[in-house]
């Protein structure tokens, strides 16, 4: 009997996901339906597959959405996180399993008892970050505990970057994920973590000036800045006694200091719209945020405003983005500053068809065993193939696809709204991911506590 999977949303992160499911379709007796509001974006090698059906699906049309879900055994939602709840509510009513790569929202968590009552698996946070970070961290944490160790430090960093062979701009960065999320990074509230037993808070206007440096063997030096609320992971990972819990985003060294210029200027704000933004040049946009002067140029005003010396590399980074161009137009009606900045950055930071991205993940586990303090570093580097088959799509899509199949096959059975932190989930998925080149390398290193090389400027 054929098992039916509905994939809602066919965006950038689904290339490996769809390939995986369709390659397994014959052996696993799968019928894949892809529902998207714009199905023309789906490549022919997918749409022409014998086990694939493509439908136009607007999730805001209730009858369409419910009919598509009713015809499936399991639903994979690759929609933006805020739209999962509509799909999830239908999955409960229609008794369908659900898989997403997004953080669990309070609204989704509120369905937990109903999901359990119907013996359904709602697996969330099963992409890259969140996802691979959960599984790889819990595998090491559980092993340390089983050997009698006590976790006293946990740090975790992840970054979507450009592969070294295509790292050809001064920012050492290109978009490998939703550009909007990059522009708005850090605006979800004050970053919170615990360091050597002391709670720490970093407000948005200081976030990109407090960074930590580290090395990845074969790939050089990176920096990390704090993510949202690291303390959320204390409960999930049972780290109530850990002295340090810190999660961060990785970039190449120098990115954060340069990005802070945009924060100082105010162009990452998404709370209001700009008049006449549709016809505004990049130069005019930048000038909006600078003092009036009857004599000084936009360039000179910006130098003074940001206190940039003539030999400051950050000035060259700004020039590289063509922000003073009077011919390039924003072209977005009623744009917020953040939307206008995103348009400018996409001009320079979009991966070309043959360019490759890179995912880097780095965990640090400090623990106490037999009276001694020890540390394990766990590192992952994955390089993409091209603009479509990216490392980001691979590390997001494959865990989603593998989890979906294991739920269908009865390998993952514990019901409820959950994340992948149990052995039942992470062990088989991590083992299969190794066959796709997603494999963490572990290093035993001297325990140093919270990184003494962290810098505050």
User: Closest by alpha carbon to 351, among 169, 124, 78?
Assistant: 169
The Cα–Cα gap between 21 and 144 comes to 34
pLDDT for position 441: 94
The Cα–Cα gap between 379 and 132 comes to 12
pLDDT, average across residues 193-209:
93
Question: Is the model's pLDDT at 94 over the cut of 80?
Answer: yes
pLDDT in tens, 137-191: 999 999 999 999 999 999 999 999 999 999 999 999 999 878 998 999 988 789 9
Instruction: Kindly tell me the burial class for residue 243, based on how many C-beta atoms sit within 10 Å of its own C-beta (0-12, 13-18, 19 or more).
Output: middle
Which 8-state DSSP code applies to residue 131? B
Q: Hey, what long-range contacts does 109-114 have (CB within 8 A, 24 or more apart)?
A: 109/417, 111/417, 112/416, 112/417
What is the band of 21 on the pLDDT scale with cuts at 50, 70, 90? very high
pLDDT in tens, 342-371: 999 999 999 998 999 999 999 999 999 999
Question: Is the model's pLDDT at 270 over the cut of 90?
Answer: yes
Question: Is the model's pLDDT at 455 over the cut of 70?
Answer: no
Cα dihedral value 303, 304, 306, 311, nearest 10: 50
pLDDT for position 450: 55
pLDDT for position 395: 96
> Using only C-alpha atoms, what is the Rg of the chain?
23
Strands 74-77 and 150-162: unpaired
The Cα–Cα gap between 409 and 403 comes to 10
pLDDT for position 229: 87
Contact partners, residue 30, CB within 8 Å, separation at least 6: 2, 3, 4, 5, 21, 22, 24, 51, 405
Beta-carbon neighbour count of residue 31 at 10 Å? 18
Which 8-state DSSP code applies to residue 351? P
What is the band of 451 on the pLDDT scale with cuts at 50, 70, 90? low
Question: pLDDT averaged over the chain?
Answer: 93
pLDDT in tens, 280-337: 999 999 999 999 999 999 999 999 999 999 899 999 999 999 999 999 999 999 999 9
What domains sit in the chain, N to C, each tagged with a CATH number?
A: 3-124 (3.40.50.720)
**Cα four-point dihedral sign 99, 110, 118, 6:** negative
The Cα–Cα gap between 418 and 414 comes to 9
């Amino acid at each position: 009997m054929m098992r039916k999977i509905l994939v809602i949303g066919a965006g950038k992160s689904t290339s490996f996901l769809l390939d995986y499911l369709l390659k397994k379709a014959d052996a696993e007796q799968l019928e894949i339906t892809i529902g998207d509001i714009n199905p023309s974006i789906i490549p022919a090698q997918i749409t022409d597959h014998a086990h694939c059906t493509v439908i136009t699906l607007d999730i805001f049309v209730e009858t369409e959405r419910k009919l598509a879900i009713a015809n499936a055994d399991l639903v994979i939602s690759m929609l933006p996180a805020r739209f999962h709840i509509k799909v999830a509510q239908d999955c409960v009513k229609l008794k369908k399993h659900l898989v997403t790569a997004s953080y669990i929202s309070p609204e989704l968590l509120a369905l937990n008892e109903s999901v359990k009552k119907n013996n359904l698996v709602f697996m969330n946070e099963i992409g890259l970050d969140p996802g691979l970070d959960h599984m790889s961290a819990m595998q090491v944490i559980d092993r340390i505990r089983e050997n009698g160790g006590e976790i006293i430090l946990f740090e975790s960093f992840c970054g979507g970057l450009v592969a070294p062979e295509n790292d050809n701009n001064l920012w050492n960065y290109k978009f490998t994920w939703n550009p909007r999320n990059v522009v708005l990074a850090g605006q979800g509230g004050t970053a919170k973590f615990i360091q050597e037993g002391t709670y720490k808070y970093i407000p948005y206007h200081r976030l990109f000036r407090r960074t930590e440096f580290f090395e990845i063997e074969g790939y050089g030096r990176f920096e990390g800045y704090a993510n949202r609320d690291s303390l959320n992971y204390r409960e999930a990972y049972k780290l109530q006694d850990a002295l340090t819990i810190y999660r961060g985003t990785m970039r190449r060294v120098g990115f954060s200091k340069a990005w802070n210029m945009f924060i100082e200027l105010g162009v990452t704000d998404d709370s209001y719209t700009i008049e006449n933004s549709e016809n505004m040049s990049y130069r005019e946009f930048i000038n909006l945020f600078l003092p009036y002067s009857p004599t000084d140029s936009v360039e000179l005003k910006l130098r003074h405003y940001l206190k940039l010396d003539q030999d400051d590399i950050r000035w060259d980074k700004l020039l590289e983005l063509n922000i003073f161009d009077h011919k390039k137009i924003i072209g977005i009606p009623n744009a917020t500053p953040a939307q206008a900045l995103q348009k400018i950055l996409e001009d320079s930071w979009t991966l070309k068809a043959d360019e490759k991205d890179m995912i880097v993940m780095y965990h640090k586990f400090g623990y106490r065993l037999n009276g001694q303090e020890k540390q394990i570093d766990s590192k992952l580097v994955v390089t993409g193939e091209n603009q479509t088959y990216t490392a980001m799509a691979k590390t997001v899509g494959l865990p989603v696809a593998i989890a979906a199949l294991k739920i269908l096959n009865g390998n993952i059975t514990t019901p409820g709204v959950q994340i992948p932190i149990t052995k039942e989930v992470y062990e088989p998925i991590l083992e299969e991911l190794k066959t796709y080149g997603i494999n963490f390398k572990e290093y035993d290193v001297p325990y140093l506590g919270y990184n003494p090389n962290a810098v505050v400027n």
